[in-house]
Amino acid sequence: MRLRNIRGTKEKVESSKHIINNYKDYRGKWKSIFNNKNPIHIEIGMGKGRYILENALNNPNINYIGIEKYDSVLYKAIKKIDEYTLDNLKLIRCDAKEIKEIFNKEIDTIYLNFPDPWHKDRHHKRRLTSLDFLKLYDHIFKDKCKIIMKTDNRNLFEYSIVTLSSYGYIFDRISLDLHNSKIENIITTEYEEKFKKEGKSIYMLEVHK
């Protein structure tokens, strides 16, 4: 959800020690930002940052890049993340449609946490698991393609199963009720914590090709 009317948000985002403002300059050269050859994982639509922050803290040998479109949302994440100095976490403010212009065969894993389900049929191409986006991802994956998605929306989940399987992805893990499954050490988003308290089922899939 987009947050509004936070004065000075753009300036505060741009001044963060974790933000990369000239991100297109590093296309194909993201390892130089991290100064290592560790795997790079991205979260598209990182929201308020809880998920990617916990991952970066728990996995220092993996580099993380959080992508968020809105300054107001990114600002909330930055307030949390800038309490730390993390060499393995960077943030980008951009639209997901730009990713082909930002990365070039250098991403190992994509996280899609509670993406917009775009309910109307005419908007289905905007879904982050639409064939249009899956084709974009081909340009940024380094070698093997790996996507992990969580959603509370059953229709989006079923749609994603169809598009991913038709595009050649193999399912490694799938859950219709993540928090009542045998999967351990689950890192949650802010939305996810809210949904858990409301008793909503969380759908999860992990695929590769």
What positions carry a catalytic annotation? Answer: 116
Q: Which residues contact 136 (CB under 8 A, 6 or more apart)?
A: 97, 99, 100
User: What span, in angstroms and rounded, lies between the C-alpha atoms of 14 and 20?
Assistant: 8
